[in-house]
Amino acid sequence: MQGVLFDLDGILTDTAKFHFAAWSRLAQEKLGVTLPAEFESRLKGVSRVDSLVRIMDYAQVTDQYTPEQIEQMANEKNGYYVQAIEKLTQADILPGIPALLAELAARKIPCVIASASKNAPLILKNLGLTSEFAAIVDPAKVAHGKPAPDIFSAAAQAIGASPAECVGVEDAVAGITAINAAGAVAVGVGDPQELAAAEIIVPTTADLTYAVLEQAYQARAK
Ligand code: G16
Ligand code: MG
């Protein structure tokens, strides 16, 4: 294993609840709808504008807004979201992540962020994790978002590795699909049925260790 490609939201910290709260506020105020709870997981790994498109579909208002109004609403949601993530600290890092990053650093295995979030640099800074990563892929610079392979291909490239030499860690179905499409080895965190396409699935981030990632990598090589 030459590198580890990390999703951010749901792997390093739990920001899905903040995305959902910000979208819920926007949907209520601007579209007059209450989002059902299942939207929290339905928007995982989905880009900002694509998330808004799904919400507008749900509200059945897709044809009623201009591209400028859509962009304005996406910006507004981001304002609410940034207010929440500004308060993140080291205490918000998910269990097992500091130990995993330390194990990988000790083995000199580079780590890269492959997140759909344009706020990834701010989140990493507030978690105190910026220096643990060799690179953060800019999602604005990849042509297609998850489930397309682009962001994981770019993440491997950022450390001079081929995707096949890397393990990707994800909590979202779209992310596992993207890792597999890039040709990297997928480790899923969450529901084994939902994430069945991953090489190995663990229940929580506390179960992520170097040994688990290496086991997934070796299993795929067979
Ligand atoms: C994350 C979240 C998504 C969010 C997307 C874009 O992806 O899971 O819910 O819509 O980023 O975030 P932003 O609006 O901050 O650019 P990931 O790939 O880290 O799970
Ligand atoms: Mg995620």
Task: Ligand 1: list residues with CB < 6 Å.
Answer: 7-10, 19, 43-48, 51, 78, 115-119, 172
Residues 6+ apart with CB under 8 A from 176: 170, 186, 188, 195, 197, 198
Task: Examine the domain organization and report whether 116 and 8 are in the same domain.
Answer: yes
Number of domains in the chain: 2
HSE, side-chain direction, 13 A CA sphere, residue 42: 13
Catalytic site positions: 7, 9
What strands, in cross-sheet order, belong to the sheet with 111-113? 135-136, 111-113, 3-6, 166-170, 185-189, 200-202
Q: Are residues 30 and 79 in the same domain?
A: yes
Same domain assignment for residues 103 and 78: no
For the stretch 125-149, pLDDT in tens is 999 999 999 999 999 999 999 999 9
Q: Collect residues with CB below 5 Å from ion ligand 2.
A: 7, 9-10, 45, 171-172
Choose between 63 and 28: higher pLDDT.
28
Q: How far is CA 65 from the centre of its chain?
A: 28
Rounded mean pLDDT, 105-130: 97
Q: State whether 20 and 46 are in the same domain.
A: yes
The CA distance from 163 to 166, in Å, is 5
* Ligand 1 probe mutation, 7, 48, 138, 195, most atoms within 8 A of CB: 48
Amino acid identity at 106: A
Give the model's pLDDT for residue 147: 95
Instruction: Domain of residue 75: give its range.
Output: 16-85
Q: Residue 34 has what DSSP assignment?
A: P
Same domain, yes or no: 95 and 140: yes
**Are 157 and 79 contained in the same domain?**
no
Domain end (from 64, 85, 106): 85
54 pLDDT more than 90? yes
Looking at the fold, whether 81 and 153 belong to one and the same domain comes out as no
pLDDT of residue 222: 72
Amino acid, single-letter form, for residue 204: T
98 and 25 inside one domain: no
State whether 70 and 113 are in the same domain: no
Choosing from 44, 54, 88 the residue with most ligand 1 atoms within 8 A of its CB, the one to mutate for a pocket test is 44
Ligand that comes closest to the CA of residue 189:
2
Which CATH number fits the domain that encloses residue 216?
A: 3.40.50.1000
Same domain, 193 and 94: yes
Residue 33 structure tokens: 């709808």
Nearest-atom number in ligand 1 for the CA of 120 is 15
**Residues 58, 9 share a domain:** no
Which residue among 37, 61, 85 closes a domain?
85
**pLDDT tens, residue by residue, 171-196:** 999 999 999 999 999 999 999 999 99
> For residue 107, how far is the Cα from the chain centroid?
24
**Cis before 149? omega within 30:** no
Nearest CA to ligand 1 atom 2: 45
Single residue among 85, 120, 137 that ends a domain in this structure: 85
Burial, 51: exposed, middle or buried (Cβ in 10 Å; 0-12, 13-18, 19+)? buried
Domain identity same for 23 and 65: yes
Strands (E), the chain: 3-6, 111-113, 135-136, 166-170, 185-189, 200-202
CATH code, 60: 1.10.150.240
ipTM of the prediction = 0.93
Q: pTM of this prediction?
A: 0.94
